[in-house]
Amino acid sequence: MAVSAFPSTLSILAQRLRRPMQVAGVGLVLAGSPGLVMAAASTDGKTADAGLTLDNIEINADREVETGDGPVKGYVAKRTTTGTKTDTPINEIPQTISVITRDEMDQRGVQDFNSAVAYTPGIRAIDYAGGQGAPDIFLRGFRAFNLFGIYQDGLRTGFNQYDTNFETFGLERIDVVKGPASVLYGQMAPGGVVNMTSKRPQDEPIHHIEYQVGSYGRQQYGIDLNDRLTDDGSLTGRIVMLRRDSGTQVSHSPDDRTYIAPSITWKPTDSDSLTVLASYNKTVTGGSEQSFPAIGTVKSSPYGHINSDTNLGWLGSYYHVETTSIGSIYEHEFDNGWKFQQNLRYMHSVVGFLSSGPDVVLNDDGRTQDIGLQYRPKSSNTFLMDNNIQGSFNTGAIRHTLITGIDYSHYKAEETRRNGDPEDAFNNIDLYDPVHGGAPVWFDTLQRDTDSKMQQVGVYVQDQMKLDRWALTIGGRQDYARDHEEDAVSATSGTQNDHKFTGRIGLAYLFDNGITPYASYSTSFQPNPDTDINNKLFKPTTGKQYEVGVKYQPEGYNASVTLSAFDLTQRNVTTVDPVNTGYSVQTGEVESKGLELEGKASLNENLNVIASYAYTHAQITKDNTYQGNTPRDIPRNTAALWLDYSFRNGPLDGLGIGAGERYIGSSQNQQNTLTTPQYFLTDATVRYDLGKLGLTGTKLSVTATNLFDKHYFEPGFYEDSVFYGNRRNVIATLGYDF
C-alpha cells in the first residue's frame, strides 16, 4: 500500500469505528484523551501525525452470568437458590452450603450419588454394595432416611426410601445445606437438605454421546442433547438418556438402569418462562439383603474371611423400581420487579421386591445362617407443589428481598408383604462355601396389606435484609402434616396430625476483602409415627441449631473457603419405656456438635482443588437404654483432598490427571458394642482429549474409585452386622461432542 494512501484508508476506518461494535466481550471501551490518535510513517522515515482522532469504541455483549440453579464453570459455585429459595450469593446466607458442580462430577468421574458427595464434609452416604433403594445418608450426625431432606428441583424426591432412585448423569448440580432447613422445606431430619438440580434446556447447544465399560461387566450408553427448537430461541429442548447393564461386586446381583429425561423450556415473552421436566427411571438390582455378620468380617473366625462377593440370599430374589414423573417450573416477572414462581411434580412408582436375606445371628456351627424370603410389591403416587412470590424493595437504607409462599405434598401408597422360605434343602447358606438353589415356599397368609396416605401443607415467609455490609435473614414457617395408615391384615388403622412452627434467623457481615463472618439459629421438625402404651401418638421430633462460621472468597481468585462450628440438638426422640419395655416413651435426646472446613478452587483452566474436614461429636444425651452412646454410623473425623490438573501446552497438551484421598474414621453400631475400623480410600482419574490427535470432539477417560482395593466396612442394619464397602471399580468412558 502506498504511504500516500494510508491517511485516506484511516479515514474510512474511522468512519466505521464511529459505529458501536457488538462483539464477544463485556463492557470494553477503547478511548484516547480526547480520543485515540494514530500515527503514520512519512516518506522520510519520520513519524507523521495522521491527524486522526477515533471515537470511543464500545464493545457490548451478554456475559455468562451464574444463577443459583444453573450451570457453573469449574468447581466453585457462588450462588444458590436452595439456601433461601431466592437466587442469592452463597456468602450472604448464614448457613454452611456446599455445591457439587457438573464440572466437578465430570472430572472426578462420578457415577452415583455416593461418589458425588464423597468429598463434601458433613454428609455421609452409606456404601451398601448390592443394596436396594435410594441412598441412605446422614447429615451432621442425623439420618435422613425415607428421603427426609433429599430434594430435586426444589421439591422432595418422595416419601419412601424404596420408591425411587437417582441418576447423577441427569443432574446439573447438587446443593447441600447443613443444619435445620424446615423453615423453607417443612418436615425433615435436622441435619440439613440436599437439593439435586436436573439438567435443563440451555441457550447454547449441547450434543454429547458417551460409551462406558468397566468393572463387573459394566456397559453403559449415555446421550445428552440440547438445542434451540425455534429460530428466535423462545423454545429450547433437551433430552438426557442412559442405558446401563452391569453386575456388582455381589455375585448374581445386577445394577441395570434405563433413564430417559426429556425437558423443554418455552419463553413466549421476556416476562414468562415455563420449563417442563419429565423422566423415566427403571432400576434393577438384586434382592438380597447384604448384612454380613461381624464374625468373619471385622472379627476373626476360625473359618477365615467371608468373601465380599458372597450373595447372602436366594439367587431368584430381585428389586426393581420404575419411577415416572412429570413436572414444571413456571416463572412470571411483573413490571415492578416482583416474580411469581410455581414448581410442581407428579410421580408414579411401581416396586417389585422379592427380598431375601439371612437371619440376624449365626447358627450354632458358626458358619451358616438361615435364609428368609419376603415378597413385597408396592405402588405409590406423589404430588408436590410449591407456589411463591418474591421481590425486592427498600425501607429507608435497608434493602429487602422478600419471599412468601405455600407448598403442598400428597403421597399415597399400597403395599402387601408375604413371607416365605426356600425349600428345606436350601433354607440356609454356608457363608464360607455358599451353595444357592431351591424354589420359594410361600406362606398362605399375608403379613401386611397396607394403605398409606401422607400430606403436608406449609406456609412460609422470609426476609433477606441488607444494610451497607450487613446481611440479615429472618424466616418463619407453619406446617400441617397428616399421616394415615391402614392394615387390612391386622384390621387396624391410625391417623396422626402434626402442626409445627419453625424458623431461622442469621446475620452476616461482608468485608471488602471477601471475608464474611456469620451466625445463625434455625429449627426443624420431623413427624414421629410411633405410639405409646396407651396408643397415644407421639409429638414430632424437633431440632435446633446454633451455628457460627466464616466464609472467604478471595479477591481475584475463583475460590471459596468455609469454616463453621455448630451445636445441633434433636428432642422428643423415642426411647424404650422403662416400665413397659415393649413400648416407647418420648424422652430421648441426641446432640451433635462439630466443626466443618471446606475449600474449593478453580485456580485457572488447569488446576482444580477440593479440601475438606469434618469433626462430628454426636451423642445420645437422653435415653433409657443407649444414653451416652454415639449414634450408629457416625465417625468422629472425616477428611478428603482432591487435585486435578489439565495440561494445556507442550507435549502433554490435552492430558488431564486427578487424584484424591478420603479418610473416614471408625464408627459404631447403636449399642456401641461393634466398631468398624477407620479407613483411607484413594481415587484417581486420567483423561485425554483425542482432538489433539485429529479426532475432534472425542475424549477418553479412565476413573478408578478405591484404587488400591481397600477392604472396609460400615455398621449394618442389625447390631452385630456390617456392610461390605465398595471394592475397586474402574470405568473407561469414551465421549464425543459434536
3-state secondary structure labels for all residues of 237-297: EEEEEEEEECCCCCCCCCEEEEEEEEEEEECCCCCEEEEEEEEEEEEEEECECCCEECECC
Tell me how crowded residue 622 is: count the other CB atoms within 10 A of its CB. 15
**Mean pLDDT, all residues of the chain:** 90
List phi, psi (to 5°) of 146.
Answer: 60, 35
Average of per-residue pLDDT across 163-190 = 97
Dump the DSSP string for 159-182: S-TTS----GGGEEEEEEEES--H
Q: Counting runs of H as helices and runs of E as strands, what totals does the chain give?
A: 4, 44
In a domain, 231, yes or no: yes
Q: For residues 495 and 18, what is the distance between their CA atoms, to the nearest angstrom?
A: 76
Tell me the C-alpha to C-alpha distance, in Å, between residue 34 and each of 29, 30, 48.
13, 11, 19
Range of weakest confidence among 88-97, 271-280, 494-503? 494-503
Residue 682 near residue 701 (C-beta atoms within 8 A): no
Average of per-residue pLDDT across 254-274 = 97
In a domain, 120, yes or no: no
pTM of the model: 0.90
Range of weakest confidence among 422-426, 555-559, 692-696? 422-426
Residue 90 pLDDT: 98
Residue carrying the nine cell digits 425486592: 392
Does residue 531 have a pLDDT over 90?
A: no
Residue 355 near residue 316 (C-beta atoms within 8 A): no
In a domain, 311, yes or no: yes
Does residue 523 have a pLDDT over 90?
A: yes
Does residue 20 have a pLDDT over 60?
A: no
Burial (CB < 10 A; 0-12, 13-18, 19+), residue 427, is middle
Give the model confidence (pLDDT) of 228-263 as tens digits: 999 999 999 999 999 999 999 999 999 999 999 999
More confident residue, 440 or 172: 172
Residues for the chain: how many in total?
738
In a domain, 306, yes or no: yes
In a domain, 152, yes or no: no
Range of the domain at 694: 206-737
Q: For residues 704 and 531, what is the distance between their CA atoms, to the nearest angstrom?
A: 47
Residue 9 pLDDT: 38
**Which triple of cell numbers denotes residue 196?**
439435586
More confident residue, 6 or 664: 664
Handedness of CA 619, 623, 627, 631 (dihedral sign): negative
Residue 604 pLDDT: 86
Residue 27 pLDDT: 39
Q: For residues 598 and 532, what is the distance between their CA atoms, to the nearest angstrom?
A: 43
Give the model confidence (pLDDT) of 560-581 as tens digits: 999 999 999 999 998 888 888 7
Q: For residues 590 and 526, what is the distance between their CA atoms, to the nearest angstrom?
A: 14
Average of per-residue pLDDT across 680-688 = 98
In a domain, 111, yes or no: no
Residue 261 pLDDT: 98
With bands split at pLDDT 50, 70 and 90, how would you rate the model's confidence at 538? confident
- In the chain, the amino acid numbered 545 is Q
Q: Which CATH number is 732's domain given?
A: 2.40.170.20
Q: Where among 59, 77, 98 does a domain terminate?
A: 59
With bands split at pLDDT 50, 70 and 90, how would you rate the model's confidence at 64? low
In a domain, 408, yes or no: yes
Domains: count for the chain? 2
More confident residue, 12 or 122: 122
Residue 5 pLDDT: 42
Average of per-residue pLDDT across 281-303 = 95
Residue 31 pLDDT: 38
Give the model confidence (pLDDT) of 66-106 as tens digits: 999 999 999 999 999 999 999 999 999 999 999 999 999 99
Q: For residues 350 and 191, what is the distance between their CA atoms, to the nearest angstrom?
A: 29
Instruction: Give the DSSP letter of residue 17.
Output: H
Residue 478 pLDDT: 98
With bands split at pLDDT 50, 70 and 90, how would you rate the model's confidence at 424? low
Residue 305 pLDDT: 96
**Is the bond into 358 cis (omega within 30 degrees of 0)?**
no
Q: Where among 40, 59, 78 does a domain terminate?
A: 59
Beta strands in 577-666, from DSSP E residues, in sequence order: 584-602, 607-622, 637-646, 655-664
List phi, psi (to 5°) of 736.
Answer: -140, 125
Q: For residues 572 and 575, what is the distance between their CA atoms, to the nearest angstrom?
A: 9
In a domain, 100, yes or no: no
Q: Where among 44, 59, 74 does a domain terminate?
A: 59
Q: What share of the chain is helix, strand, coil (3-state, %, to 5)?
A: 5, 55, 40
171-178 vs 192-198, strand pairing mode: antiparallel
